[in-house]
Structure 1
Amino acid sequence: MKEFAGRVAVITGAASGIGFGLARRFAQDGMHIVLADIESEPLAIAEAALNAMGTTTLAVRTDVTSPEQVERLAEAAFSTFGNVHILCNNAGVAGKFSMGTAGWEIPLSEWQWVLGVNLMGVLHGVRAFIPRMVANGEEGHIVNTASIAGLLSGASPYHVAKHGVVCLTEGLYKDFKSRGLRLSASVLCPGWIQTNLMDSERNRPPEFGAPTDRSLLSPTGLQAFEAVRSAVDDGISPADVAEQVFEAVRDDRFYVIPAQPGMREAVKQRMDAVVSMNNPAVGITP
């Protein structure tokens, strides 16, 4: 996409972190913004901040684990603005039980919640928005938020979900191009970013179990959690991530990887091992 002014961007997980960074960046180029988030109060604050910039904004509380709610989000966006040109399936959570816990020991409810938001939430967005975007025939772009974890490996719901997002998005890109559609796609694979992802438990619905009591974590798990929180606090700013995403949409670049050098090197080592058919390296990965 080369033209942004007057066009429409929809962002899930838009009330904070990367999502709000994306909303602000697209608004700076004159786009109308549809904000979606599960948290009502932060969503209203984000909407007010964009309105103060003079942006035409629509805020819709949305739980992306619900296909019905994502369909309602799409209906609100298209009925209000006529079309959607950029869709950012960005909402995500990180569960605490996964840290330092063997894959077979992680509760099923954890798998259901993390995959429900991080993978199925993206799929719900794809199914609700893309058919309408295709039918309208205008140029557009899909940005799906995965993670550097989606390029590495781990027997955790987070890693598995993010791998799925990378695979799904690459498939969408191929589908768009092979069919000659005016749509394209990018996958966002961030490393350590300054967000509140480590506080995701505040939004865990009761049907997926009670929020994790950190005292129940193993010493290894607690140590891992605190190390990740420290890395996140010192991470890349959401504004920097949003700028890289904007440039990728403008230049039709598929991979967006705002990650620390050590993470990029870990990805290279893994890919080299895959091509060489070497056994996976043992150790903690992001």
Structure 2
Amino acid sequence: MKDFKGKTAVITGAGNGFGAEFAKECAAREMKLVLADIDLADLQKTKELVAGMGAEVVAVVTDVSIYEEVEKLAKTAVDTFGSVDLLFNNAGVVVPGPIWEIPAKDFDWIMSVNVNGIFYGLRAFIPIMLKQDTPCHIVNTASVAGLLSTPGMVAYHTSKHASVSLSETTYLSLQAQNSKIKMSVFCPGFVQTDLHHSDRHRPERFAITPEEPYFQSASYKAGLERARHVIETGIPIDSIGMSVFTAIEDEKFYILTHPQYHPIIGKRVKTILEGENPSINF
């Protein structure tokens, strides 16, 4: 996809971080925008920003972990602008801690957003794109955590490995029927986003229970601090939008941001092929 002017982009998790950056890049390319986020205040800020850039834009408060809300988002996009040409399945959250300590509710939350949220987006929007039979593109936000494994972030790694596989298999399925839909999976390393503040985006059914011991534990507090540190010391976010759009134009499937992780990804593949056991020693 190389022609963006006048086309329609849908972005989930548009209230901040990558979603807001993607929205700005879309507006700069004179695209029409359908923005979605679970947080109304954040969503409104991005809407006002891109409207100030001259973009036609609608905003829809959306919990991507609920399929009916994603269906509503898709209907709004088509009803408002008539088509969907570019989809960013971008909403995501993080939960720290070892698997034997985190509450089951937290695991359900991260999987429902990071995996189900992408599945729901694909399920709701691909039929629209197939019916259009025009050049379209889908970008699923995963993480370099979906291409390698480290201790301490079990739920996050699990969700991101799943989102990478979901992206790959969907892409292959679209190829098998000669679809005009192209795809990318965005696998960034540490970038200065708002991801470490995920807890403020919890819907009521996944709310933190104060009496739950885990949320008072050293593991939880250490996980939050580590997340804060690596994100706040990550690379600046202002170059991300341009690099992702370059990948879209080049029809590049894997979009990575940190070359220093390439040897670690390669070592994981080598470990598998040589029948070795995983090790914390990179």
Fold agreement, TM-score > 0.5: yes
| In structure 1, distance between residues paired with 2:209 and 2:117 | 20
1:119 corresponds to 2:115: yes
**TM-score, normalised relative to structure 1:** 0.92
> 1: distance between equivalents of 2:236 and 2:245?
15
Q: How big is the shift at 1:106? A: 2.0
**1:78-89 equivalent positions in 2, closer than 5 A:** 78-89=78-89
Q: Residues 172-209 of structure 1: CA distance to partner in whole angstroms, max 9, x if unpaired?
A: 11112221111011000111011111010011122124
Shift in Å, 1:165: 0.7
Q: How much does 1:282 deviate?
A: 2.4
- Cα offsets for 1:234-285 (capped at 9, x unmatched): 2123332211210111000000011261x333212112211222110126x9
SS at match of 2:100: helix
**Correspondences of 1:13-162 after superposition (within 5 Å):** 13-95=13-95, 98-99=96-97, 101=98, 103-153=99-149, 156-162=154-160
Question: 2:8–2:32: 8 Å Cα contact kept in structure 1?
Answer: yes
- Note if contact 2:143-2:189 (Cα within 8 Å) is conserved in structure 1: yes
Specify which of 178, 181, 187 is matched with residue 179 of structure 2: 181
Count of equivalent residues = 278
Residues 23 and 46, structure 2, Cα contact 8 Å, conserved in 1: no
**1:201 matched residue in structure 2:** 199
CA displacement 1:75-127 (0-9 Å, x = unmatched): 000111111111000000112xx33x2x1332110111000111000111011
2:257 matched to which residue of 1? Answer: 258
Paired with 1:71 and 1:238, the residues of 2 have a C-alpha distance of: 30
Larger deviation, residues 263-272 vs 52-61? 263-272
TM-score relative to the length of structure 2: 0.93
State the partner residue of 2:248: 249
- 8 A Cα contact 2:35 2:47, kept in partner: yes
Greater Cα offset, 186-195 or 238-247: 238-247
> Who is 1:5 aligned against?
5
Q: Give the C-alpha shift of residue 211 in structure 1.
A: 6.1
Amino acid at match of 2:88: C
Query: Which residue is 1:191 aligned to?
Result: 189
Give the equivalent residue in structure 1 for 2:208: 210
- Note closer, same or farther for the CA distance 1:230–1:182 as it changes in structure 2 (3 Å cut): same
In 2, Cα distance between equivalents of 1:50 and 1:12: 15
